[in-house]
């Protein structure tokens, strides 16, 4: 029954797709400039001559969303060769040098030489067009121009917010109004967008934002807020604004205010907010409560999920609190955030993979649902980023990351069929139960984060020069590339070119696990409407919405920076165009979430997420920009894409905890009995027990029947 439903949905979506594909190709055949779509008014212009050139160049890469459009120079190559030999007038080989020009009266030998030279040049040209000699990609693409398009999209979105919802926490682009989340607003959109404004050098806009923060923003409001979201977006936004404005005073400068000597507004607001959030950590275990009242500072237990906090939410506050501690010298911020890591790790979960709910009072996990999507994701992200933030001086976090990544490879990586795409699935009932072949879009932060972990932020070429480069890093880079392709396929698979919130996969029965051997997947995912790889992807109607999420473009950004392979920028450009085309609200209202990525025309939801400005557009902008802006070796980006500098521990800070002792297979050794008369354990390692290096020895994962597994999709949960 379940399979039937899937099949019938697949057929109807294929039919829809082929109708869509025909529609897409028609304008290519009709319009001389190769415009593929009509753009809503006020969306950044795509029909200038540069755009035509880019479209043409695009076709030549063989990676166009619109195959066989006749649009690219490489298309119809045989005709060009024919033209060369005088049978047909070919297109110019270079845009300003017609190639079919011959002087008519030359000596025969000289003529022959010219023909031979011509053939040679043509072949060289073809090699060039196909990118064979140019691993870095097509140098004719003007990435600066594309980056400007992103900036235009940002300005349009920001301008719409300024016009229709200024000062509100939410912006609704369809009804063109806003809403507050707390009585006087928290600056949800303004604060989250600050550093993107700075990176894009939008001086007027940053001035307006700063003015609002200075005169309107108060966090002293008697209202509950989500501890995690407020930390990553507001605290993170203020801290990165502080970092950028003080470290790069020429970035969107505000005369007389910004710069290393003048700016303290953002840091003052950040400290005030952090002090109000501290009450969340006052649980019995130290694991933060899901919410906190900003006025009373009292932590509030979750009203849902049996009172448990989300694991990702409790464990993705550390970059922010530690950077604030470093800036202010207030060790308390550091200690509270660090304590959470210890409590979580003391649970000694198998292979470093954690259930997605944790009780704040007890510090133990609820249920056994393990995934790297909603409620699980950024725990893993913050392991490797904590290690990098403190300049690799806290090896405990790289050890935890390595263990968790080995756990992912052992228990969660499987392959789709028939095309063997790499799938990072879930274990909803625990590691001993069956695998669910489902990926939230949120999981797509992983390819980039794996690559970041493998090289520490250097390029692969640089990292390979180090003696420490090993087979493990090689394999991790391979895994990152495979997963990146899977995430890209989520976009390429749909008529809109946008990914759904959740994707399911057809997998083998029993599942083929990575542990049993890496399977060969297609080199390139063909754009063709009937490409076989599309059979591997399954989109369920309840999961088909798109909330303008950043994770795939985030990973594309890391993969581009780390591998230098321009294909990742090209994929990003295709995705960007899809956002422009299918998420634009009417008139000057900006961009919005949509209901269903499989249906054209798209039905719009009435909400622009703040991470559209803070993350998605920022990552596009960085992806198309030069690599020396925010070098990955100098910074870490928090889970809301707010950049913080890496720093040394210095005298004040150190890692204040140790992992419980483990044996060689990674199993935690039993805690020694307490001395008589002492009640209960203190949760700390027995100093007598010898601590072995954690070395995860993979054993075949337990797999089972997948047909009963896929639980009802959790479409509401975020991180």
Q: How far is the CB of 93 from ligand DMJ (least distance, A)?
A: 45
Q: How many residues does the chain have?
A: 719
Q: Which is nearer to ligand DMJ, 612 or 653 (CB)?
A: 612
Q: Does 639 bind ligand DMJ (CB under 6 A)?
A: yes
* CB closer to ligand DMJ, 266 vs 379: 379
Query: Minimal distance in Å, beta carbon 55 to ligand DMJ?
Result: 30
- Rounded (10°) CA dihedral 682, 685, 689, 692: 160
Contact flag: residue 501 with ligand DMJ (CB under 6 A): no
Q: Which residues are catalytic?
A: 229, 377, 501, 551
- Of 235, 340, 538, 719, the one binding ligand DMJ by CB under 6 A: 719
Is 240 one of the binding residues for ligand DMJ (CB under 6 A)? no
Residues 566 and 446: beta-carbon distance below 8 Å: no
626 CB neighbour count, 10 Å cutoff: 9
Nearer to ligand DMJ, 129 or 620 (CB): 620
Which residue from 147, 149, 242, 549 is in contact with ligand DMJ, where contact means CB under 6 A?
549
360: part of which helix (H) or strand (E)? none
For residue 231, state whether it binds ligand DMJ (rule: CB under 6 A). no
- List the one residue out of 433, 424, 378, 427 whose CA is nearest residue 401: 378
Looking at the Cβ atoms of 596 and 718, the one nearer to ligand DMJ is: 718
* Per-residue interface string for the shown chain with ligand DMJ, residues 328-347, x marking contact by CB under 6 A: --------------------
Closest CA to 638 of 268, 266, 386: 386
CB of 229 to ligand DMJ, least distance (A): 7
Beta strands in 388-483, from DSSP E residues, in sequence order: 413-415, 422-424, 438-440
Interaction residues for ligand DMJ, span 587-616 (CB under 6 A): 611, 615
Reported as type and span, the H/E element at residue 695 is none
Spell out the alpha helix ranges (H) of 217-369: 227-229, 236-247, 265-277, 311-314, 318-328, 331-346
Phi, psi (rounded to 5 degrees) for 226: -75, 125
Closer residue to ligand DMJ (CB): 271 or 546: 546
- Sign of the CA dihedral with 710 first, then 715, 716, and 719 last: positive
CA dist 318 and 576 (Å) reads 31
640 near ligand DMJ (CB under 6 A): yes
Considering beta carbons, is residue 441 or 485 the nearer one to ligand DMJ?
Answer: 441
Q: Which of 311, 378, 455, 593 binds ligand DMJ (CB under 6 A)?
A: 378
Instruction: Determine contact, residues 514/601, Cβ cutoff 8 Å.
Output: no
Q: How far is the CB of 609 from ligand DMJ (least distance, A)?
A: 7
Q: Does 583 bind ligand DMJ (CB under 6 A)?
A: no
Nearer to ligand DMJ, 129 or 579 (CB): 579
DSSP H/E element including 644: strand 643-645
| CA gap 558, 564 in Å, rounded | 10
Shortest approach of ligand DMJ to residue 502 CB, angstroms? 13
Q: Per CB under 6 A, does 550 bind ligand DMJ?
A: yes
Question: Is 313 a binder of ligand DMJ (CB under 6 A)?
Answer: no
Q: How far is the CB of 323 from ligand DMJ (least distance, A)?
A: 17
Q: How far is the CB of 550 from ligand DMJ (least distance, A)?
A: 6
Cβ distance to ligand DMJ smaller for residue 442 or 622: 442
CA atoms within 13 A on the CB side of 57: 19
Question: Does 170 interact with ligand DMJ (rule: CB under 6 A)?
Answer: no
- Full DSSP string of 572-619: HHHHHHHHHHHSBPSTT--B--BS-TTSSSPPBPS-B-HHIIIIIHHH
- In contact, 285 and 232? CB cutoff 8 Å: no
Residue 173 or 550 with smaller CB distance to ligand DMJ: 550
Euclidean distance between CA atoms 332 and 320, whole angstroms: 13
User: Nearest approach, Cβ of 295 to ligand DMJ (angstroms)?
Assistant: 24
Integer angstrom CA distances of residue 55 from 61, 83, 303, 564, 624: 10, 23, 51, 22, 16
d(CA 156, CA 589) in angstroms, rounded, equals: 8
**C-alpha to C-alpha distances, 587 to 39, 157, 302, 336, 406, nearest whole angstrom:** 11, 11, 40, 47, 49
Kindly write down the DSSP assignment for every residue of 5-28, as one continuous string: HHHHHHHHHHHHHHHHHHHHHHHH
Total residues in contact with ligand DMJ, by rule CB under 6 A = 10
Q: Is 320 exposed, middle or buried (0-12, 13-18, 19+ CB in 10 A)?
A: buried
Task: State yes or no: residue 151 binds ligand DMJ (CB under 6 A).
Answer: no
CB of 702 to ligand DMJ, least distance (A): 30
Q: What residues numbered 642-681 form the site for ligand DMJ, per CB under 6 A?
A: none
**453 Cβ neighbours under 8 A, 6+ residues apart:** 384, 398, 401, 405, 476
Task: Determine the residue with CB nearest ligand DMJ.
Answer: 639
- Is 364 annotated as ligand-binding? no
Q: Pick from 169, 345, 426, 718 the residue near ligand DMJ by CB under 6 A.
A: 718
Region 402-431 residues binding ligand DMJ, contact defined as CB under 6 A: none
Residues 298, 277: Cα–Cα separation, whole Å = 8
Shortest gap between Cβ of 718 and ligand DMJ (angstroms)?
Answer: 5
Binding site feature residues: 639
Q: Please give the residue ranges that form the binding site for ligand DMJ (CB under 6 A).
A: 378, 442, 549-550, 611, 615, 639-640, 718-719
Binding site feature residues for Ca(2+): 639
């Amino acid at each position: 029954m379940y399979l039937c439903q899937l099949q019938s949905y697949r057929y109807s979506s294929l039919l829809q797709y082929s109708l869509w594909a025909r529609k897409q190709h028609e304008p290519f055949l009709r319009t001389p400039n190769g415009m593929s779509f009509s753009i809503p008014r006020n969306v950044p212009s795509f029909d200038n001559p540069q755009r035509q050139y880019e479209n043409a160049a695009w076709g030549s890469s063989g990676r166009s969303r619109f195959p066989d459009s006749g649009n690219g120079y490489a298309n119809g190559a045989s005709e060009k060769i024919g033209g060369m030999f005088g049978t047909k007038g070919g297109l110019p080989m270079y845009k300003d040098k017609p190639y079919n020009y011959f002087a008519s009266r030359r000596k025969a030998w000289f003529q022959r030489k010219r023909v031979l030279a011509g053939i040679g040049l043509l072949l060289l040209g073809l090699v060039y067009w196909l990118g064979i000699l140019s691993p870095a990609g097509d140098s004719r693409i003007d990435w600066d121009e594309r980056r400007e398009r992103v900036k235009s999209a940002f300005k349009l979105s920001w301008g719409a917010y300024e016009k229709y919802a200024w000062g509100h926490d939410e912006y609704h682009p369809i009804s063109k109004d806003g809403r507050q989340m707390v009585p006087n607003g928290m600056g949800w959109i303004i604060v989250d967008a600050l550093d993107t404004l700075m990176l894009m050098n939008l001086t007027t806009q940053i001035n307006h934002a700063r003015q609002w923060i200075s005169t309107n923003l108060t966090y002293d409001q008697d209202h509950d807020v989500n501890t995690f979201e407020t930390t990553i977006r507001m605290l993170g936004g203020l801290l990165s604004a502080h970092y950028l404005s003080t470290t790069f005073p020429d970035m969107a400068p505000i005369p007389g205010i910004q710069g290393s000597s003048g700016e303290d507004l953002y840091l003052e607001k950040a400290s005030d907010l952090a002090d109000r959030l501290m009450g969340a950590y006052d649980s019995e275990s130290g694991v933060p409560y899901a919410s906190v009242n900003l006025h009373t500072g009292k932590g509030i237990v979750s009203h849902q999920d049996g009172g448990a906090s989300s694991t990702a939410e409790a464990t993705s506050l550390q970059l922010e609190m530690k950077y604030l501690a470093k800036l202010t010298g207030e060790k308390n911020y550091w200690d509270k955030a660090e304590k959470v890591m210890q409590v979580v790790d003391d649970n000694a979960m198998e292979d470093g993979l954690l259930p997605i709910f944790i009780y704040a009072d007890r510090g133990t996990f609820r249920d056994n649902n393990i995934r790297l999507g909603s409620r699980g994701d950024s725990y893993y992200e913050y392991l490797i980023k904590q290690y990098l933030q403190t300049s690799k001086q806290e090896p405990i976090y790289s050890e935890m990351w390595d263990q968790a990544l080995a756990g992912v490879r052992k228990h969660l990586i499987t392959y789709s069929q028939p095309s063997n795409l790499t799938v990072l699935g879930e274990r909803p009932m625990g590691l001993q139960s069956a695998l669910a072949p489902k990926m939230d879009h949120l999981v797509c932060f992983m390819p980039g984060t794996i690559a970041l972990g493998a090289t520490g932020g250097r390029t692969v070429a640089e990292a390979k020069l180090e003696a420490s480069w090993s087979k493990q890093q090689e394999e991790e880079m391979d895994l990152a590339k495979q997963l990146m392709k899977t995430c890209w396929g989520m976009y390429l698979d749909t008529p809109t070119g946008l990914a759904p919130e959740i994707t399911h996969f057809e997998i083998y029965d029993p599942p083929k696990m990575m542990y049993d051997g890496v399977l060969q997947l297609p080199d390139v995912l063909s754009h063709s409407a009937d490409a076989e790889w599309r059979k591997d992807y399954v989109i369920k109607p309840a999961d088909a919405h798109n909330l303008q999420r950043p994770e795939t473009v985030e990973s594309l950004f890391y993969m581009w920076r780390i591998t230098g392979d321009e294909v990742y920028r090209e994929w990003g450009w295709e995705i960007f165009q899809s956002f422009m085309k299918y998420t634009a609200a009417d008139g000057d209202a900006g961009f919005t979430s949509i209901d269903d990525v499989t249906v054209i025309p798209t039905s719009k939801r009435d909400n622009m997420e703040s991470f559209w400005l803070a993350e998605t557009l920022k990552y596009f902008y960085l992806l198309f920009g030069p690599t020396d802006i925010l070098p990955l070796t100098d910074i870490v980006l928090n889970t809301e894409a707010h950049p913080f500098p890496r720093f040394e521990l210095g005298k004040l800070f150190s890692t204040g905890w140790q992992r419980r002792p483990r044996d060689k297979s990674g199993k935690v050794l039993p805690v020694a009995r307490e001395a008589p008369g002492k009640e209960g354990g203190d949760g700390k390692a027995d100093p007598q027990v010898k601590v072995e290096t954690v070395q995860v020895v993979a054993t075949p994962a337990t797999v089972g029947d997948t047909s009963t597994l896929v639980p009802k999709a959790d479409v509401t949960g975020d991180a």
